Amino acid sequence: MFDLDPWTLLTIVALGCITVITRSFFFMSSKPWTLPHWAQRGLQYAPIAALAAVVIPEIVTTQGVFISTWQDARLFAAFAGMAWFFWKRGVLGTIVCGTAVYLPLRLVLGW
């Protein structure tokens, strides 16, 4: 059914074993283990960094190329959402404000 050579099979099994060992490493220790303070503090910023890594390229690029015009609804929606967030500090209002700016520009003006 599948044409699987021995090296590919060995690679899959080896990577599976490495994954299981590295993910279960913390369960193998008998003593409690905690991260250093600097690592705990650094991990607090991981969700924001991951979100920025996903959202920012979506705003400033189209099909992997930087946008070349200001007539892009995503830019104005992002600025409106940021303004709302810095004014009110509410996530739901940020989403509603950004969407309220994006939809008319996109649907009515065709940006």
Mean pLDDT across 12-24: 93
CA 88/CA 76 separation, integer angstroms: 18
The reported pLDDT for the residue numbered 35 is 86
CA angle 27, 49, 45 (to 5 degrees): 60
Instruction: Please report which confidence band the pLDDT of residue 18 belongs to, taking 50, 70 and 90 as the band edges.
Output: very high
CA 30/CA 22 separation, integer angstroms: 16
The reported pLDDT for the residue numbered 26 is 76
Helix/strand/coil for 66:
strand
19-78 pLDDT, tens digit each: 999 888 777 777 887 889 999 999 999 998 998 999 999 999 998 899 999 899 999 999
CA 81/CA 94 separation, integer angstroms: 5
Mean pLDDT across 75-91: 95
CA 54/CA 52 separation, integer angstroms: 5
CA 59/CA 78 separation, integer angstroms: 8
The residue length of the chain stands at 111
The reported pLDDT for the residue numbered 36 is 92
